[in-house]
Chain A
Amino acid sequence: MNRLVLWASILTCAMLQAVLPAWQTLGQAKAPLLLGAVLYYALSRNNLQVIEASILAGVLQDSLGPIPHGFSVIAFLSVGLVVNHYRDRVFGEHWFTHVMLGVGSSVMVTLSLYLLLVGSGLRAGVPFSFALSKSLGMSLLGVVTFPLVYVCMDKLDVAVGNVNRGGI
């Protein structure tokens, strides 16, 4: 059931992220739902599940857009594993943690993707100011998105019995 929920929730996040409109004024930022799902697993599961979630989310993001395979996987994996490593040192279930993670990880993912895309020559003409405005947009959307994704996925996990109150 754990794996089913992981796959279903990440697929749903990918579908919604593709359909939701982009924030035109801030670097065409999109609500980082896939990143939210990865962060949820980073805060609540072991590193194997974080890797599975990151690879699935990354492959979906790369497949549903022109980004070459592997770029988003790297970005999601690095953020997911860093958060997972330090998850015992933060209040993982507190909304403030989710807000801060939403901001920090959105900026980190956006900038790492920018570096990968510009470094590979695929988006060589894109100015750094665009990446900055996109980071700002993504972090603002992340503030709203990540706590929401966390609550929804936590409720789903509790409902299907993957998570008991106080433990997994």
Chain B
Amino acid sequence: MKRKGLIFWLGLAVILLITLNLPTPASRSLKNATRDLLAPLQELVSSYTLRFRGAGHAIRGWGGLPEKNKELQQEVMLLRQKLFELDELREQNFLLRQQLDFQQRQTRELIACSVLARDISGWWQTVRIQHNGSPLIQPDLAVINDQGLVGKVSEVSARTADVLLISDPGCKVAVQIGDKGTYAILSGQGLSWRGRVVCKLSFINKNIPVERGDEVFTSGLGGVFPKGIKVGTLETVTLDPNGLYQNAEVKPSADLSQLDVVFLVATEPEAGR
């Protein structure tokens, strides 16, 4: 009887050791298979939670609907005007590029994906999204929404992908501060005690004055995030204890706690226009 017990515990220990030391490809395959298998179920649960949330928002916002409608109409007008100006600029730009014999070798494609769930354990700042199986979806693609930068793709399976949010300490973004001509590195700091998303900006040139309210955009350096995506605005600026550069806290422009739909910025190689 004691021998049987010993064999049982030894067997369990061996299973645990094998699980812990699974080679990366095997572990990834197991994870992807589980995720894909559970994706339809997650989609179902997620759609119901969205409906509940939508009903909640409708009830809470009942009183302010006319005001909200007016605000949105004004915003649409402004955006139309901007779009018109941008169309004109694009045309001019295209003509100039043509004259300079510039060949645009890459086009960017936005792939819309719905958010299925957040990290189940809460140790990472990630969301799981469902995609259409496009071959363009690869790790390290930038993820944005209508408000700004959201994060980057960390893992891809046949039907789902994990997005590492910019609030995660593992996500680093090369950015530039408005029109100040200075660059910095943005890294996530998780959440504050009040549940506020905190991102830190490091290595800002100390000789260039930056202040609260300055806008932060991706710089395009590093190759992961395309240039010019809005990241957030500066909250507080401090001089580093060593006195060599400035640090700042950034409030992300995208509301990372309310993500329903995001866009993957995919790059498609294409011949020149």
A25-B195, A63-B34, A64-B35 in contact; A74/B117 too (CB < 8 A)? no
Answer whether residue B261 sits at the interface, using C-beta atoms and an 8 A cutoff.
no
Answer whether residue A28 sits at the interface, using C-beta atoms and an 8 A cutoff.
yes
Report whether B195 and A24 are in contact in the complex, using a CB–CB cutoff of 8 Å. yes
Answer whether residue B64 sits at the interface, using C-beta atoms and an 8 A cutoff.
no
- Residue in B34, B120, B191 with the greatest tally of chain A CB atoms within 10 Å: B120
Answer whether residue A117 sits at the interface, using C-beta atoms and an 8 A cutoff.
yes
Answer whether residue A79 sits at the interface, using C-beta atoms and an 8 A cutoff.
no
Answer whether residue B20 sits at the interface, using C-beta atoms and an 8 A cutoff.
yes
Interface size class of A (residues with CB under 8 A): 35 or more
When the two chains form the complex, which single residue of B12, B30, B121, B154 contacts A61, counting CB atoms closer than 8 Å?
B121
When the two chains form the complex, which single residue of B30, B49, B126, B169 contacts A63, counting CB atoms closer than 8 Å?
B30
Answer whether residue A27 sits at the interface, using C-beta atoms and an 8 A cutoff.
yes
A74-B16, A125-B169 in contact; A66/B124 too (CB < 8 A)? yes
A70-B16, A125-B169, A133-B193 in contact; A27/B122 too (CB < 8 A)? yes
Q: How far is the CB of A41 from chain B (nearest CB, A)?
A: 16
* Chain B contact residues, majority secondary structure: mixed
Report whether B34 and A30 are in contact in the complex, using a CB–CB cutoff of 8 Å. no
Report whether A66 and B16 are in contact in the complex, using a CB–CB cutoff of 8 Å. no
On chain A, the residues within 8 Å of B123 by CB distance are 28, 65-67, 113, 117, 123, 126
When the two chains form the complex, which single residue of A24, A69, A113 contacts B121, counting CB atoms closer than 8 Å?
A113
Report whether B120 and A61 are in contact in the complex, using a CB–CB cutoff of 8 Å. yes
Answer whether residue B155 sits at the interface, using C-beta atoms and an 8 A cutoff.
yes
Q: Bits for A1-29, please: 1 = Cβ < 8 Å to B, else 0.
A: 00000000001001111110110110111
Q: CA–CA, A111 to B190, complex, Å?
A: 18
Q: How far is the CB of B66 from chain A (nearest CB, A)?
A: 30
Q: How far is the CB of A55 from chain B (nearest CB, A)?
A: 8
Q: CA–CA, A125 to B188, complex, Å?
A: 11
A25-B195, A73-B19, A74-B16 in contact; A18/B42 too (CB < 8 A)? yes
Q: Bits for B124-166, please: 1 = Cβ < 8 Å to A, else 0.
A: 1110100000000000000000000000001100000010000
Report whether B190 and A64 are in contact in the complex, using a CB–CB cutoff of 8 Å. no
Docked complex: A120-153 residues within 8 A CB-CB of B: 123, 125-126, 130, 133-134
Report whether B169 and A126 are in contact in the complex, using a CB–CB cutoff of 8 Å. yes
Answer whether residue A59 sits at the interface, using C-beta atoms and an 8 A cutoff.
yes
Report whether A63 and B117 are in contact in the complex, using a CB–CB cutoff of 8 Å. no
Report whether B155 and A66 are in contact in the complex, using a CB–CB cutoff of 8 Å. yes
On chain A, the residues within 8 Å of B194 by CB distance are 25
Report whether A25 and B193 are in contact in the complex, using a CB–CB cutoff of 8 Å. yes
Q: How far is the CB of A65 from chain B (nearest CB, A)?
A: 5
On chain B, the residues within 8 Å of A67 by CB distance are 121, 123
- Residue in B15, B118, B128, B257 with the greatest tally of chain A CB atoms within 10 Å: B118
Report the nearest B residue to A131, measured CB to CB.
B123
Report whether A65 and B121 are in contact in the complex, using a CB–CB cutoff of 8 Å. yes
On chain B, the residues within 8 Å of A55 by CB distance are 15
Q: CA–CA, A133 to B19, complex, Å?
A: 29
Report whether B119 and A66 are in contact in the complex, using a CB–CB cutoff of 8 Å. yes
Residues of A within 8 A of B (CB): 11, 14-19, 21-22, 24-25, 27-30, 51, 55, 59-74, 77, 113, 117, 123, 125-126, 130, 133-134
